[in-house]
Amino acid sequence: MHSDPAQHRPAPTVVSGLRAAVRLLALVCGFGAACGSELGRPAFRDFPPGRSQIGFLIQSVTQDETGFVYLADNYVAFRYYDGAVWRPIPGPAESAGVRKFARTADGTIYAGGPGVIGYLRGAGGMCEFVSLAGRLPPTELGCDEINDVLAAGQTVYFADEEKILRWRDGGFRVIPFQSPPRSRGPRLHRVGESVFVAVPGRPLCRLVEERLEEVADDPVVRAEAIVMIEPGPAGGLVLLTAGRGFFQIAGGRVVPLAAEANRWLAGRTIWRALRLTDGSLGVIFTSVSGDGGMRFGPDGRYVGPLDQTLGLYTKAFRGLFQDREGGLWLPSEVGAFRLEWPSALSVFDAVNGLGAGAVAGVVRHDGVLYAATEEGVFRLVPAGDDGRGARFERVLKQPASALLSHPAGLIALGYAELLAQTATGFAAVAATPPGGGALLRSEREPDCVWVGTGRGLQAVRHTPQGWRDEGLQMSFGETAQAVRPAADDSLWVSTTGAQGFRVRFSPATGRPERLVSSPGEYAASEILAECAATMPNATGGSGARWVARPTGIELVPQGGGEFRRLPQLANASAGAVGCLREERGPDGPVLWIGGARGLLRVEVARAFAKPVPFAAVLTAAGVRESERLAPAHAPVRFDYVALRHQLADSVSYQTRLAGLEEGWSAWTAERTRAFVRLPAGAYRFEVRARDADGTLSAPAALGFSVMPPWWLTGWAILGYAAGGAGLLAALVRIRTRALRLRAERLEGMVVQRTGELAQRNLELVRLHKLELDEKISARLGEEKARLEVLRYQLNPHFLFNTLASISAALPAGGSTARTMVERLAEFCRLTLHRADERDGTTLGEEMRLLRAYLEIEKSRWGELLEVEIACDPAIEGERLPHFLLLPLVENALKYGRATSPDRVGLRLALRRNRDGALVIEVANTGEWLEPAAGKNVASLGIGLDNLRERLNRYYPRLHELAIAHRDGWVMVTLRILPPPVL
């Protein structure tokens, strides 16, 4: 076995030795047998082929520093999980799959397999595979059969049947190691910073730089494949062999290790093994041994199998991997699984015999645990010494809504009767109104049992003669869901009507005498179930209670105070909670949770583990860290994810764009935000995540800025300031000079004033005459313009009318001359009659004009012209400037005729792309003539220049005009983009 470096960091020698001694003691002693265990199966998530978009054969699983999980399948080389789906990462084209992953100390993931040797660069959606095949030494022909990969620090080892390749500091070194035939090469193992090499038929060796140093040469080592190597006491080693269990190396000798696990592993061949962070051990077997696997606890005890008895749909596993949250991944031949193991929580449902009905009650009677469900009453059978896990078996085949342990026997509340367990089964002892759901043994009168029914509170009493029905004691017209005692000897009753009732008893008779509605004291609408807790509170006493609400299951201390909430994994596994029960187990308090999906067993001492930290991963499109964007920048999009891989992995996000938004956004499951146009300023996009348990992630952020337009830049503002200062100085200077000259002007005021008046009179006369001349000139210009417009209108109309008269004068029938004149007249009509001059025309009108023009040209050229037009009818309403396309078609015909050897081909295609752009393609046969070419083609040479000028006027920065030529065709493509949506 070679485990992930992130899970096994080097530790001081003393601590390693102590841990090794404890682990060895656990292996040897087992700290007890598995018999009597009441553990259920672990909860799990499955990722089957097809639905999860992964291949069938999953060889290996790993995780990077950011939390992304990667797997290797036989369809594409790699896939990563983005929190919703598995996305592919292309690998080598000729690969037969990846067999192993290894992660170095800096977090880089290396991979090896048939045709694969390299590493993953980046994370998540930015991840790509980088092949190292081109860096292999010239003496090596390739990497056809990489069977094992191991990382130690920053060094990576790749092993095949002939050698070990060491990758360090950007280069490979070859370490020859010939394996016996059909051995599939050596297995690499890491213990601390030491790397061991083991293969059947050769001694166990340690890699020291490029040397192989023999550690042990023993028949066991040569005969058995070594699956796992761990540190042993006093610097020794513990070996897990494929077929003979545990051994240890002491003083250079390989001796059997009397481990408890050997009894369970006998007769099996182990394929892979993994020591988990809490000391638990998982092993999987080869197909020869029937596949599947086993789980062992930190104390060495057998915990249970790894096969279909857990609800898995296969047992053909290929490996084991533990992620940062503690979950165990099982890659298999039909997908992958993630088990919540090791975990404080285990599940009982239809898989282990409980049936598919919701669990309404759970009780322990005479040391046996019973559960009431919609399918009947079930009894828990603990795990046996044969390796079979704990399971339920049905003892009553009718629905039950409540259970009660009584000295007279187990009592079950059916739909319309109360049943008591006897030596031969269950027998009805009282009829009840249908629909009840509560049983309570009276504290005042232990022989009395209170039954919450569909009509009220009923009493049943046990006497020496048996059970006696005392009938309905208190009626309140609603179904009683729960009954519990109060501190003053009264009863609190919650009903389906979301009400709370308090039943008080007569001090003299002990019979119920008053019914008080008290919804405030007992909020039944918020509490789904509750029970007493035996776990001491903060003050050292007990009295706390477990309370199940729609928001979660809470441990509430006596007298109020801060509560503790179970992880949401419990809610996700149980469904809607129907009952709670806490009892003292062998390792501390155990909480049983009955829900719509089954029964959960929770070890309370381990349930409130410190949450594993996680972080949000942020990627951006259109902007980079510290980038300065232009004022008219492209849209900026941020994608973010924070990964939790538990069954209850719902993650919500808060974001804010500092510089634009002051506060955080509301929590939402959305994982992307986009900004189209941002004003000038400095910005910082921040995101943080919250998982289902309320744990906040480390935030992620990206800073950038948007530059102001040039007229708001610092240089422009400095120029404004300088100009303003200069203007102010000029004004002051002018004002000073004016004051100085004022005295001089006053001396000749009378004479100057008289001269000015005379001059003004002359000026007024001149201006009046000038104004009159300008008005007359403007009037004459206007009349000339009107006459010119009339002349321009008269000439085309005269031409159109003349052509119509000529057409009428020509003989009817198939006359080519008449057809030619009619087409020319139609072309003139289309150019003269326009629906709206101001708004341009439509693409349909422009196409009709082009078709008329091309018909005329075809009449001229005959068979020498071939025209093909493809126009999507859906875009004929698109608005265009007049005569936008005619210059393109004219140029195509002109230059096509000049450069085509015989016939001229013309193709016109118009369509709309998915991005909304209108695409117009005009192609003609012939060759492209550069404007500077010396070929003689009659042309003014301004057609394309005029077209570009019109496009810049009508579609500024929203058009693309491209010219290409290949295979005897010249193609002009015009793309008109839609205006941006603000």
Beta bridge partners of 29: none
Q: What is the mean pLDDT of residues 265-270?
A: 94
Task: Note whether 358 and 576 are within 8 A (CB).
Answer: yes
pLDDT at 730: 92
Q: Which fold has domain 616-708?
A: Immunoglobulin-like (2.60.40)
pLDDT digits (tens, 9 = 90+) for 157-213: 999 999 999 999 999 999 999 999 888 889 999 999 999 999 999 999 999 988 999
Q: Please write down the HEC assignment for all residues of 122-175.
A: CCHHHCEEEECHHHCCCCCCCCCCCCEEEEECCEEEEECCCEEEEEECCEEEEE
Task: Note whether 240 and 221 are within 8 A (CB).
Answer: no
Read out DSSP for 338-391? EE--S-SEEEESGGGTS-SSPEEEEEEETTEEEEEETTEEEEEE---TTSPPPE
Q: Give CA–CA dist 638/701, Å, rounded.
A: 10
pLDDT digits (tens, 9 = 90+) for 816-852: 666 777 777 777 776 765 545 555 789 888 888 888 8
pLDDT digits (tens, 9 = 90+) for 272-313: 999 999 999 999 999 988 899 999 999 999 999 999 999 999
pLDDT digits (tens, 9 = 90+) for 390-404: 999 999 999 999 999
pLDDT at 939: 55
Taking domain 859-976, whether its CATH number is 3.30.565.10 is answered by: yes
pLDDT digits (tens, 9 = 90+) for 129-156: 999 998 999 888 666 789 999 999 999 9
> CATH topology of 401-525 equal to that of 616-708?
no
* Boundaries of every domain in the chain: 401-525, 616-708, 859-976
Q: What is the mean pLDDT of residues 510-526?
A: 60
pLDDT at 81: 94
pLDDT digits (tens, 9 = 90+) for 79-88: 999 988 999 9
A 10 A CB-CB count for 269 gives 18
Nearest to 683 by CA among 702, 662, 655: 702
Q: Which of 170-184, 604-618, 763-777 has the lowest mean pLDDT?
A: 763-777
Q: What is the mean pLDDT of residues 795-816?
A: 62
Q: Which two tokens stand for residue 314?
A: 């296969």
Nearest to 484 by CA among 527, 530, 435: 530
Q: Tokens 């029938």 correspond to what residue?
A: 813
Q: Which of 199-203, 224-228, 532-536, 693-697 has the lowest mean pLDDT?
A: 532-536
The fraction of the chain above a pLDDT of 70, given in percent, is: 86
Task: Note whether 974 and 960 are within 8 A (CB).
Answer: yes
Task: Tell me what the pLDDT averaged over the chain comes to.
Answer: 85
The fraction of the chain above a pLDDT of 90, given in percent, is: 51
Task: Note whether 42 and 22 are within 8 A (CB).
Answer: no
A 10 A CB-CB count for 574 gives 27
pTM: 0.70
Q: What is the mean pLDDT of residues 951-967?
A: 88
Q: What is the mean pLDDT of residues 656-678?
A: 95
- Torsion sign over Cα 68, 72, 77, 83: negative
SS3 state at 435: coil
Contacts of 367 (CB under 8 A, 6+ apart): none
Q: What's 401-525's CATH class?
A: mainly beta
> How crowded is the C-beta side of 906, counted as CA atoms within 13 Å?
25
Q: Which two tokens stand for residue 325?
A: 């949250």
Buried b (16+ CB within 10 A) or exposed e, 510-545: eebeebeeeeeebebeebbbbbebbbebeeeeeebb
Give, rounded to a whole angstrom, the gap between the first and last alpha carbons of the chain. Answer: 58
Q: Give CA–CA dist 458/635, Å, rounded.
A: 70
Q: What is the mean pLDDT of residues 883-893?
A: 86
Task: Note whether 105 and 5 are within 8 A (CB).
Answer: yes
pLDDT at 16: 47
pLDDT at 712 over 90: no
Please, which pLDDT band fits residue 711 given cuts at 50, 70 and 90? confident
Please, which pLDDT band fits residue 39 given cuts at 50, 70 and 90? very high
Q: Which of 9-18, 191-200, 379-388 has the lowest mean pLDDT?
A: 9-18
pLDDT at 513 over 80: no
Q: What is the mean pLDDT of residues 218-241?
A: 93
pLDDT at 648 over 70: no
Task: Note whether 885 and 878 are within 8 A (CB).
Answer: no
Contacts of 120 (CB under 8 A, 6+ apart): 64, 70, 78, 89, 108, 109, 110, 111, 127, 128, 129, 130
pLDDT at 50: 81
Nearest to 436 by CA among 420, 416, 421: 416
Please, which pLDDT band fits residue 774 given cuts at 50, 70 and 90? low
pLDDT at 6 over 50: no
